[in-house]
């Protein structure tokens, strides 16, 4: 079974290793690791140094090709009938919330910045999603995350939303907000010829991804910080601090003038109300092993 970068590093027992080949994916992972290892106070688009490095990471991902993951069109087609799940998940650097110790340091690519010793899986997620024809990743959020998405093969339709905040103008049950006010973006058809899609905090941070074609599609995601799937006790402040749990939504309809006035949004753009729902029963995933080039 594929092991995350952290598990692989840990399995080395701290022994020195020989650097592997300098591949595009390896450079991308190290570049992302160096950037997102900075403290949260550094990771803001108001910081010119972070903004420049984040844009450079987008450019690096834009150069990545399907073959850089050790895949080709024939391999994707072989997965068309794998299992019943409409979406396959391939972890490259995967979130492992239970791993806390700092790993031994691997060899970075030449001339790359050396980040502080941290568990890469606690810093970011790098993963590929193989989306079968007719499949859909339902509308979901990326709370307080940065993300870059690149389609490596096929064609995907992406509907994005930018979260504004809880809907305070319509109290729901127990006086909780009746939904989430969000700005709806244009629907985009994305192929390998397109620039990577970028999400940041409150900007295109909610999206739905659909494969409306008869062709297998795959995209690579870089997300930081990763989702945290720990089940926290409500009274456990240490566990709940910075908790990033995935939520799923459905669009309820347009926001009313009162909704926009309460939220101080009067720019004439398209605002809607999103309602949080359980993960749709139709959305299931199967795991496939990563067998591409070494990240060390």
| Alpha carbon distances (Å) from 295 to 18, 124, 239 | 12, 15, 30
Q: What is the mean pLDDT of residues 6-23?
A: 48
Residue 240 confidence (pLDDT) = 44
The ranges assigned to domains in the chain are 5-231+245-287
Pick the CATH number of 5-231+245-287 from 3.40.50.620, 2.40.110.10, 2.60.120.10, 3.30.70.260: 2.60.120.10
pLDDT category of residue 1 using cuts at 50, 70 and 90: very low
Give pLDDT, residue 245. 85
Q: What is the pLDDT of residues 81-101, one digit of tens each?
A: 878 899 999 999 875 433 333
Strand pairing class (285-287; 87-93): parallel
pLDDT at 216 over 50: yes
Distance CA 221, CA 285 (A): 16
Q: Reply yes or no on whether the pLDDT at 205 is more than 80.
A: yes
Predicted confidence band at 170 (pLDDT cuts at 50, 70, 90)?
low
Per-residue pLDDT tens digits for 232-285: 555 554 444 455 789 999 999 999 888 888 778 777 789 999 999 999 999 999
Percent of the chain with pLDDT strictly greater than 70: 76
């Amino acid at each position: 079974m594929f092991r995350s970068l952290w598990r692989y590093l840990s399995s080395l027992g701290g022994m020195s290793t020989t650097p592997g080949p300098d591949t595009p994916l390896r450079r991308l992972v190290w570049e992302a690791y160096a950037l997102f290892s900075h403290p949260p106070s550094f990771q803001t688009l108001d910081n010119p140094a972070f903004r420049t490095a984040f844009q450079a990471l987008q450019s690096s991902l834009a150069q990545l090709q399907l073959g850089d993951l050790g895949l080709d069109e024939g391999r994707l087609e072989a997965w068309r009938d794998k299992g019943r799940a409409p979406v396959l998940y391939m972890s490259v650097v995967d979130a492992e919330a239970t791993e806390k110790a700092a790993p031994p340091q691997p060899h970075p690519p030449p001339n790359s910045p050396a980040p502080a010793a941290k568990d890469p899986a606690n810093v970011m997620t790098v993963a590929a999603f193989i989306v079968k024809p007719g499949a859909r990743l339902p509308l979901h959020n990326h709370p307080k995350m940065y993300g870059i998405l690149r389609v490596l093969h096929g064609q995907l339709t992406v509907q994005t939303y930018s979260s504004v905040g809880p809907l305070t103008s319509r109290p729901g049950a127990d006086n909780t907000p009746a939904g989430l006010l969000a700005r709806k973006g244009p629907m985009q058809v994305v192929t390998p010829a397109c620039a990577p899609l970028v999400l940041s905090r409150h900007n295109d941070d909610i999206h739905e991804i659909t494969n409306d074609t008869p062709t297998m599609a795959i995209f690579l995601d870089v997300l930081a910080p990763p989702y945290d799937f720990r089940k926290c006790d409500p009274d456990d402040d240490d566990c709940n601090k910075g908790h990033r749990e995935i939520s799923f939504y459905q669009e309820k309809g347009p926001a009313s003038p009162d909704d926009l006035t309460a939220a101080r949004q009067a720019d004439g753009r398209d605002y809607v109300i999103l309602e949080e729902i359980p993960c749709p029963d139709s959305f299931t995933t199967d795991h496939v092993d990563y067998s591409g080039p070494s990240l060390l």
